Amino acid sequence: MREVHVVRHPLVQHKLTLMRQVERSTQGFRRLLNEIGMLLAYEVTRDLPLENVEIETPLTPMKSPLLAGKKLVFAPILRAGMGFVDGMLDLVPSARVAHIGLYRDPKTLQAVEYYFKAPPDVAERLVIVLDPMLATANSAVAAIDRLKERGCHDLRLVCLLAAPEGIERFHGAHPEVPIWTAAIDSHLNEHGYIVPGLGDAGDRMFGTR
Ligand code: PRP
Ligand code: URA
């Protein structure tokens, strides 16, 4: 309950620092998010169950482990969550993808849904929700609420940066959903931005404003 894993791998920390820098280009920001996505995928899948299967090497039969159970689902929260997807699929190519379209109303900071598409049997799979920013957590809470409505019960959240307020609110709503993040920053400002943070992740990824 209320598990938070801070991924302190030096490559993740190095790349995160490059992403925070205001002078980082759109192209550089996107590439780094993709690379960190791959490294976070490694961490969040560390404990996936394995089953021994009979195989034949060129020399002899043997029992060897393969991932057990149904393929997992990556569930990016649009838009910025898409930045993790390619890197994660490079590592887990057979994963399914559910898209959760949410935007944060700039005045109320409430999450507004505009799209949802998931595999029909999503409830039977491990679902890993992806969003670089856990700020107020309104978006992440809404995404998990939506997945639970569809019957999902095996859920994880991967982000890049989390605010302490966001972690508190997220685990207030969904205490059993573990979080993986590369860093926990200081606080939220009056506009709901993470400080020191990296700015607006979606805008920096896509060159919008
Ligand atoms: C950003 C970010 C998260 C959300 C985090 O999305 O990508 O989804 O804000 O904030 P919260 O924890 O306070 O909900 P935004 O609404 O700006 O949409 P975008 O990804 O399309 O830019
Ligand atoms: N969404 C972002 O993209 N950045 C923040 O700091 C907060 C929410």
Which atom, in ligand 1's list, is nearest to the CA of 81? 7
- Chain centre to alpha carbon of residue 89: 12
Which atom, in ligand 2's list, is nearest to the CA of 201? 3
> 39-85 pLDDT, tens per residue?
999 999 999 999 999 999 999 999 999 999 999 999 999 999 999 99
| Residue 120: φ, ψ to 5° | -60, -35
**Distance between CA 59 and CA 182 in Å, rounded?**
43
- ipTM over 0.95? The verdict is yes
| Dist. CA 98 → ligand 1 center (Å) | 17
| Dist. CA 104 → ligand 1 center (Å) | 6
| Dist. CA 55 → ligand 2 center (Å) | 48
Is ligand 2 within 6 A of the CB of residue 194?
Answer: yes
Domain 4-206 coded CATH 2.60.40.1930: no
Neighbouring-strand partners of residue 109 = none
> 122-160 pLDDT, tens per residue?
999 999 999 999 999 999 999 999 999 999 999 999 999
In the β-sheet with 183-184, what is the strand arrangement from edge to edge? 133-134, 161-162, 183-184
Is ligand 2 within 6 A of the CB of residue 82?
Answer: no
